[in-house]
Structure 1
Amino acid sequence: MTDAWEWDPSLYSGSAGYYVRGRAAYPPSLAEAFVAELGLDGSGRLLDVGCGPGSLTLLLAGSFEEAVGLDADADMLAEARRLSEGCRWVHRRAEELPAGLGTFRLVTFAQSFHWFDRPRVAAAVRGMLEPGGICAHVHATTHEGDGSVPHAEIAELVREYLGPVRRAGRGTLPSGTPGGEPEIYRGAGFRGPRRFTVPGRVVTRTADEVVAGVFSLSGSAPHLFGERRAEFEAGLRELLGRASPAGVFTERLREIAVDLWEP
């Protein structure tokens, strides 16, 4: 991510409904691993930062007294509320933390940390952990795996419509999103990490779900195509039809790795 890129509210504009349909759900084994690693017993509070439609929040909520999901996209939170009213959904940017939300036993970042002012957010989160609390960084890919979906051809089709440089909101990410999370966490005063993993799994996806997965991405969010959105989708469906006339695809998702950071 370059210094020139700035977050804006259009980053996932129009993607919320597609996100729910197009992303593979986190497996129950991930929740079981969290319980085993952290001794979760239904007490304490969870904060999921950049929660989207609550994919991880809802999976872990049953292991806490209260689960809070925070996201900057109001449409994502509307999807989360549609799925469950049992959690607290907060419409704020991560940079506004601590935002009077109190302290937490566990704070999670799942496919979200790279969008933030990371040093600022990491420092804020460290101050929001109760004694013995943990910050968890979840490394996962839920929109694609290895298998019969023609991801390379889909990426080329996106480039034909949107250009060779990855789009992100009103800006671009020529070098992609940033890495180097360990340095950020340690710079904020965290110790670790301790890592656990959950094995990958095989999923079956329909053509509709693959299309939704494409539109769930920031780099191919619906608004980016403008008046050519329907044309792009027709081309995408034609491509998928050639790859699988039956409209069914099988993929093996990569393992999920979780880094646990102590304040």
Structure 2
Amino acid sequence: MDPSLYAGSAAYYTRGRVAYPAALADALAAELDLDGSGRLLDVGCGPGSLTLLLAGHFEQAIGIDADAGMLAEAARAAVPNCRWLHLRAEQLPAGLGEFRLVTFAQSFHWLDRPRVAAKVRGMLEPGGACVHIHATTHQGIDEGAGPSYAAIADLVRAYLGPVRRAGQGTLPNGTLGGETEIYRAAGFTGPQRIRVPGRVVVREPDDIVASVFSLSSSAPHLFGDRLASFEADLRKLLGGRVFSERTHDVSVDVWRL
């Protein structure tokens, strides 16, 4: 885990990322018979986007993240049954005990995946489950009604270069895939796939700017002393418009013991 991956992004994350829909929590509650008992562990929780959505279905919800800024944002919600721990996933189990549900929401690809999958399997109580969320929340489907995400990507490349940035390094081939094999090698069975349909949302220029700065590939620190210039060019590109766009579907893989 490169600690600079999301340096400076935490303040933009909640506004820049479209919230997970309530239908996602409803679908998980129905599938897993969540009844307010047991404990939730959200690994790589960021500012608590998923943790806070699910917390009401558990006695206790714990979110862990390697970025202290993200945890500070999560703590602003002041939800009584939530705990936020500055902890790398590779440090698990860290004496945290057993959980009814462990979740990874847009975080698994940053981790030592075989190691973490094996660790969280050992932290599940009998009948527990691990849930992997596949989602794109920083931008909607480019259908012409929303901003031109291709143009935004071109602008980012003009400032940061042609190869995708990620903290102190680069990701020329994008993030890693192959999660199915990793979960099965760790001893999980499944997955069962749940799909939550996208919806139409309205987004203002401030939302789009925040979404760009919420990404590891365009985190504020990467622009150095050109940050203000980039933001000015981005806002010029957006033209002060308010956009209506459809979000991507959310896909959920449920893995069981």
Distance 2:245 2:89 in 1: 33
1:40-119 correspondence runs (5 A): 40-86=34-80, 87-119=82-114
How many residues align structurally? Answer: 253
Distance 2:38 2:28 in 1: 14
Distance 2:172 2:230 in 1: 22
Spell out, residue by residue over 1:183-238, the C-alpha distance to the aligned partner (whole angstroms, 9 max, x if none): 01011111100111111111100000000000000000000000000000000000
* Structure 1 SS opposite 2:76: helix
Match of 2:161 in 1: 163
CA shift for structure 1 position 100? 0.7
Task: List runs of 5+ in structure 2 lacking aligned partners.
Answer: none
1:217 is matched with which residue: 206, 215, 218?
Answer: 215
Match of 1:121 in 2: 116
Distance 1:168 1:101 in 2: 30
Match of 1:8 in 2: 2
TM-score normalized with structure 2 length: 0.97
Distance 1:64 1:172 in 2: 38
For 1:175, the aligned partner's letter is N
* Structure 2 SS opposite 1:12: coil
CA contact (8 A) 2:140 2:146 kept: no
For 1:110, the aligned partner's letter is A
Distance 2:147 2:104 in 1: 27
Distance 1:85 1:91 in 2: 17
CA shift for structure 1 position 84? 2.4
Q: CA RMSD in A?
A: 0.7
CA shift for structure 1 position 85? 4.0
Does structure 1 residue 136 correspond to structure 2 residue 131? yes
Structure 1: 4+ residue segments shifted above 2 A: none
Match of 1:3 in 2: none
Task: List runs of 5+ in structure 1 lacking aligned partners.
Answer: 1-6
Match of 1:145 in 2: 140
Match of 1:4 in 2: none
1:227 is matched with which residue: 201, 225, 228?
Answer: 225
TM-score normalized with structure 1 length: 0.95
* Structure 1 SS opposite 2:226: helix
